[in-house]
Amino acid sequence: MGRRIVVFGQAAFARDVLVRLLDAGHTIVGVYAPPEGGRPEPLADEAAARGLPLFRYKAFRRRSGGAIGERVAEYLSLGAELNVMPYTTVILPPEIVEAPPLGSLCFHPSLLPEYRGGAAIPWQILLGARETGVTVFQPDAGVDTGPIVVQKGGVEIADTDNAATLYFQKLYPLGVEAILEAVDAVDRGTARPRRQDESKASFQGLVTDDVAHVDWGRAADDLGRLVRGCDPSPGAWCERASGERVRLFDARVASAGASEAPGTVVGFEDGRLRVAARGGDLSIGKLRVGAGAKLAASSAGLEIGERLR
């Protein structure tokens, strides 16, 4: 049948959803993307190249909390039947979310109601989840709390996955398919949204530097998950004796070598740095020392025997 759709989003993920919606025969009557910045924005670039109505706003509310009436009116003039939100970080007012006759669909990279919030992917690694998936839901006034339209699970979180590999290699392609499936169900009238089970709900905040700090008193397995969950951003960190900050990337957990105090650099192996931890060694492939570039761990200047803290 095809519907009149407005897409709210950003990055390559939203671009790919946009292209697939067009290929499926839907009419994109508006695309909302972030304001212009210093680098290309894939969704905005695709919309512009196709001559689609493009709007680039940072926010839809004034700092005082009032809705920006002219932007709501602008949106309403598009005549959307459905909103699709593949990857958006802006807070949309209910005048937009609830306006289309077919409502709105939003993507989330976890099996809701678990891991609500804006950092679901890293937290699943940080907290040791072994399996994940994606959810497409109808947004409401809460944070990732609305009824579920499509959910796809069965995605293994491997011991080598970091936040980037889990997203780009596993959840990204599955998420695009889930959104298209949800749109198709809404289009055909076969969607059967179901309430989330609040007894299983969890919410996590953003992964800040406070979260990303490496406490060498923790078990090696915990530290491995911390480094992988914070990779590539913000990067788990510790300090040298000089106070210089060191960010760790590409972590694996290895069997403990010689008995050294946790945080001690015990050697290099195949270009990787080995640091003693409780119950094992942490094997690190890349480092960023201070404000420098990310380097192979063996080239970053750390020395055997020095103690990280």
- Which sequence spans correspond to the domains of the chain? 4-107+135-141+158-191, 209-299
Q: Which pLDDT score, from 0 to 100, does residue 266 have?
A: 95
pLDDT at 64: 46
Q: What is the pLDDT of residue 62?
A: 57
Q: Which two tokens stand for residue 216?
A: 């060498």
The Cα–Cα gap between 84 and 183 comes to 8
pLDDT of residue 38: 82
Reported CATH class of domain 4-107+135-141+158-191: alpha beta
Which pLDDT score, from 0 to 100, does residue 60 have? 83
Question: pTM for the complete prediction?
Answer: 0.94
> Which residues of the chain fall below pLDDT 70?
61-68, 257-258
The CATH superfamily assigned to 209-299 is Formyl transferase, C-terminal domain (3.10.25.10)
Query: What pLDDT, on a 0 to 100 scale, did the predictor assign at position 259?
Result: 79
